[in-house]
Amino acid sequence: MARERNDNDRLLDEQLLSFILALVRSEKLGREAVAIINETEPELAAMIRASRTGLVTRQDTTRMNKLLGDIRTSRAIAWRRVEVLVRRELERLAKSEPRVMRTAIRNVSDEKIRMPTEAVLLALLAGKFEGRTLSEWIRVQRENDFARIATQVRLGKMLREPPDRTARRVLGEARLLGANGATEQTRQRLFEITTLAGLFIANQARRESVILNGDLFDRELYVAVLDNRTTPICRSLHGKVFEIGVGPYPPLHFWCRSLRIALLRGVGPPVFLGWAAWLADQDEDTQEIIRRAGRDRQFEA
């Protein structure tokens, strides 16, 4: 006979759905950040195409250095916009996740939940993920972005190739959506970092909520997506139970799809048979939320 679902089963449902929505928000933010960088590319292309071919005279070198200075200025403005956008949205995510946890508790229990202060939540933005703070990540990516562009511009000048070809070297071809240009790595890395930052903030905000309510929760269950993309570290941690505030908290690496599920005191552990089984067992409203989010493929078992 099937075991009757308890409050921890229902709380697991709430937290898994919250995780999916946080992932969707983080990836949306990543796409918005990339779009800001992309807005500069027509201007960069025009600058490069208007430049002269080759490096023959001292004046050619001076003109190239001015071109690179103009490119740096244009991209720097965009990178400042990216940091403002990402920081603002991460602040919103930090504040919203404890409210999501409060709603989850209300849906399964009459217990009241204490909320972290705004100061505690905003302090999370100064935390390090994958070894760097958000500001440090953006600074490094901004400098790497300019270095890649400058390398290709200098190479084009040294080869004395037509400026239009140098522009393609930097920005790629339109028919390939820029995938064969130097700036493609910037787009990919910015999306990865922004998505990781969103998941880091969401998980840390939930962690603060759980620690603050240690009278309600006494342990956490580590849940990973188990498929051919799961890393050995997350696979080894899947299903393990940790004390509140102790042990590894996801995300543990880029593209980490793991989370920790808070469990209520005095209630038996939930049954989790994998993402595919969990998705199939959800009600129609939840299924529709997930379908709209377009994330079913992320959680195939």
Distance CA 113, CA 236 (A): 32
Question: Pick from 230, 228, 284, 239: which is nearest to 261 by CA?
Answer: 239
Name the token pair of 150. Answer: 């400058």
Predicted confidence at residue 299, as pLDDT, reads 46
User: What are the tens digits of pLDDT across the range 123-139?
Assistant: 999 999 999 999 999 99
User: pLDDT at residue 301 above 60?
Assistant: no
User: Residue 298 domain-assigned?
Assistant: no
What is the CB neighbour count within 10 angstroms for residue 175?
8
Q: What is the pLDDT of residue 1?
A: 52
- Quote the pLDDT of residue 93: 95
Residue 221 DSSP SS3: strand
- Residue 244: exposed, middle, or buried by beta-carbon count in 10 A (0-12, 13-18, 19+)? buried
The pTM of the full predicted model, rounded to 2 decimals, is 0.91
The per-residue pLDDT for 135 is: 96
Domain region containing 55: 7-293
pLDDT of 294 reads: 58
How much is the pLDDT for 8? 93
Q: Are 36 and 85 in contact (CB under 8 A)?
A: yes
Cα–Cα distance, 299 to 196 (Å, whole number): 17
Rounded Cα distance between 10 and 32, Å, is 34
**CA 153 to CA 244: how far, in whole Å?**
53
Q: What value does the mean pLDDT take over residues 278-297? A: 73
Domain assignment present for residue 61? The answer is: yes
Q: DSSP string of 111-145?
A: -------HHHHHHGGG--BTTB-HHHHHHHHHHHH
Number of independent structural domains in the chain: 1
Please, which pLDDT band fits residue 293 given cuts at 50, 70 and 90? Answer: low
Which stretches within 134-183 are classed as H helix? 134-158, 163-171
For residues 254 and 177, give the distance between their C-alpha atoms in angstroms, rounded to a whole number: 24
The H or E element containing residue 33 is helix 7-38
Structure tokens at 241: 């139970």
* Summary mean pLDDT of the chain: 91
Q: Cα–Cα distance between 129 and 248 in angstroms, integer? A: 12
Residue 232 lies in a domain: yes
Q: Would you state the structure tokens that stand for residue 38, as one six-digit string?
A: 């992309």
The number of beta carbons lying within 10 Å of the beta carbon of residue 224 is 23
Residue 300 lies in a domain: no
- Tally of CA atoms within 13 A in the half-sphere of 283 that contains its CB: 4
Is 123 a domain residue?
A: yes
- Cis, peptide link before residue 250, omega less than 30° from 0: no
Task: Dump pLDDT digits (tens) for 45-92.
Answer: 999 999 988 888 999 999 999 999 999 999 999 999 999 999 999 999
How many whole angstroms separate alpha carbon 85 and alpha carbon 37?
Answer: 12
Is residue 2 in some structural domain?
Answer: no
Cα dist from 107 to 10, 13, 18, 102, 197, whole Å: 8, 11, 13, 9, 28
